[in-house]
Amino acid sequence: MNESAIKAVATSVRSLSMDAIQKANSGHPGIPLGAAELAAVLYGEILKYNPADSKWPDRDRFAMSAGHGSMWLYSILHLAGYKVSLDDIKTFRQVGSKCPGHPEYGETDGVENTSGPLGQGVSMAVGMAIAETMLAARFNTAVHKIVDHYTYSLVGEGCLQEGISSESCSLAGHLKLNKLIVFYDENKISIDGSTDITFTDDIAKRYDAYGWQVLKGDMYKPAEIIKLVEKAKQSKDKPTLIMLKSIIGKYAPKQGTSDVHGAALGVEGVKAAKEALGLPVDKDFYVLPEAYEYFDGQKRARAQNEADWQKEFDDWSIENPELRKEWDAFYSDSATADIPDVTFKTGDALATRDASSKAINMIAHRYGNFVGGSADLMGPNKTKLDDCDGVYTPENRKGRTIEYGIREFAMSAVAAGIKLHGGLRPFAATFLVFSDYLRPSLRVVSIMKQPVIYVFTHDSIYVGEDGPTHQPIETLTALRAIPGVQVLRPGDAEETVEAWKMAYESKDHPVCLALTRQKLMVYEKADPDWKNTVRTGAYIVQEGSSNPDITVLASGSEVNMALEAAKLVSSKKIRVISVMDVKLFGQQDKIIREKLIGNTKRIVAAEAGIGMEWFQFVPNKEDIFSIDRFGESGPAEKVAADMHFTPADFAKVLER
């Protein structure tokens, strides 16, 4: 290790960070100043990467969790040779900058994940580590190791206070993810002051209880950090937490206090810090020449490392042509087997969660890279993958079913990490009402434009006996409100198969499937091309007439309800439309919507949830048949009758 170069890099990280934050008059200087040595030694000596190709498949992954310390990451990426220029750094936190306030996946070269909401980054790292083991087990041979890398993360005090990190780190310990290494910037400061005011956990004991190896060191001893990482890599059955004692905002006048956590140092503060570091106070964004020279000197070797891997990959490809075909399919989300669609016939009666069970196995056998699981609800969610290499465990890394336990929030972030890693397509499942537990992660997944698939069953009051705590009322609307999130609520088994196909077709956004517990009849479709039409968000199930008296817009189980109610109203010509994707249907060109709705005298909508979204289609409030209060506990049919949400009740609305 070149100690003077590491020192120059750390000093330059501090220099760039404090100037960028000061120029923006916004940001968090605490981590960049307090943990600069880790940045220097991590990117200078520890990580396997090639800045000329930030997507090299066998690179080490670094998932930033303490995302408020973004200038720490941008500074080291710039110095290491990624496509992050000084001009980018100078526009930190400005509109259109490649250096946004918190790291954003897809915006900045070398950034592996979006972070900022604390604890989510380390949880994504768990997913990345899982993906590495899955792919290694499937593609490595006795002769060639083409998947062989580590996953690292940086957490702060806040990350370890947020519950999601407990969920995900508990899972990581259980799964014995020994190639996961997490650095803890142990500075004992948060925004409101010393963490002692709220956070007195014994972190070492906590992580030991999770099944982790816990190592301790000093943030300002780079050689020691390297030795700790070497020791971490010796672990065969435990992830490692490396606790590094540090001083937040080191070298700033108010170092070690909350004053340097989340605000620029100020002109005088920057000047004092530069003087303490021996930096020229009259030069902004100054980088010590030795820092650039150090990383410039590594470029050839790093490129050669990738070239050596590419040679091994090419040799492996020649020796294992079928594995290579599978690899290409995994990384392009292409089919690995010719599996026909699951089919149903008109008159079949089954819950859409049961139809989904058949469809999910169709998908799993068609796409070998499809992996995932439920939050301890595999049976109720109907997500069991048959003949798909079993359950993923430390002993069976090929297993495609992940047992997440009751950890919805972590499940979503871990699934995101699996997708971010590349090569695998994940799903996650729970009851619809419990999507609230994972919603903050789903939001970040959408920001990252990752096509994670979510299976949400028990989608309405028809859950029945479990009562209002388990009966989603506002949940569908809450999910649809997240930009970029697609919510599909199929009305019968045939629609459920198409919903799964649509979900897998997604390349740039998460998809949520809302599925029933109760049985629904498979209905005849008036539109012979409905499988294509439904990709506009809706299609005609019952024509009624070219000039209907009423057009009913319904989603999910309420399509069956509308068809039954229409039979009770013989005096009117009623068109029934299945709106499987309310948001997409609302975004369609007016001409498309009007063609489906037809020249009708009246539009009525039906959904077993709040009616808010349906106002965009329905002029009159009394024409929205919805549920705007919490449910009741009892058998599903009796709950529906008590809440006046039955076909007979809907028929009364249609008769008005």
For the annotated catalytic residues, the residue numbers are: 408
Alpha-carbon dihedral sign for residues 189, 193, 198, 200: positive
Question: Exposed e or buried b for every residue in 280-319, given b needs 16+ CB within 10 A?
Answer: eeeebbbbbebbbebbeebeeebeebbeebeebbeebbee
User: In angstroms, rounded to a whole number, what is the distance separating the alpha carbons of residues 225 and 245?
Assistant: 11
User: In angstroms, rounded to a whole number, what is the distance separating the alpha carbons of residues 417 and 453?
Assistant: 13
Fill in the amino acid letter for 4: S
Q: Interhelix angle for 321-332 vs 120-139, to 10°?
A: 160
Beta bridge partners of residue 194, listed in sequence order: 189
Angle at 50 between CA 48 and CA 53, to 5 degrees: 135
User: In angstroms, rounded to a whole number, what is the distance separating the alpha carbons of residues 20 and 71?
Assistant: 8
- Among 402, 472, 465, which Cα is nearest to 439's? 472
Cβ proximity of 455 and 428 under 8 Å: yes
Q: Which H or E element spans position 426?
A: strand 425-431
Question: Which pairing describes strands 349-351 and 519-521: parallel, antiparallel, or unpaired?
Answer: antiparallel
Runs of H (alpha helix) within 422-505: 435-447, 475-480, 493-505
User: In angstroms, rounded to a whole number, what is the distance separating the alpha carbons of residues 276 and 247?
Assistant: 15
In order, the DSSP letters of 552-568 are EEE-THHHHHHHHHHHT
CA of residue 551 relative to chain centroid, distance: 38
Beta bridge partners of residue 603, listed in sequence order: 551
Cβ proximity of 208 and 235 under 8 Å: no
User: In angstroms, rounded to a whole number, what is the distance separating the alpha carbons of residues 344 and 330?
Assistant: 29
Structure tokens at 395: 């002993």
Q: Report the SS3 class of residue 387.
A: coil
In order, the DSSP letters of 256-306 are TSGGGTSS---HHHHHHHHHHHT--TT-TT---HHHHHHHHTTHHHHHHHH
User: In angstroms, rounded to a whole number, what is the distance separating the alpha carbons of residues 165 and 120?
Assistant: 7
User: In angstroms, rounded to a whole number, what is the distance separating the alpha carbons of residues 423 and 516?
Assistant: 31
Q: Report the SS3 class of residue 115.
A: coil
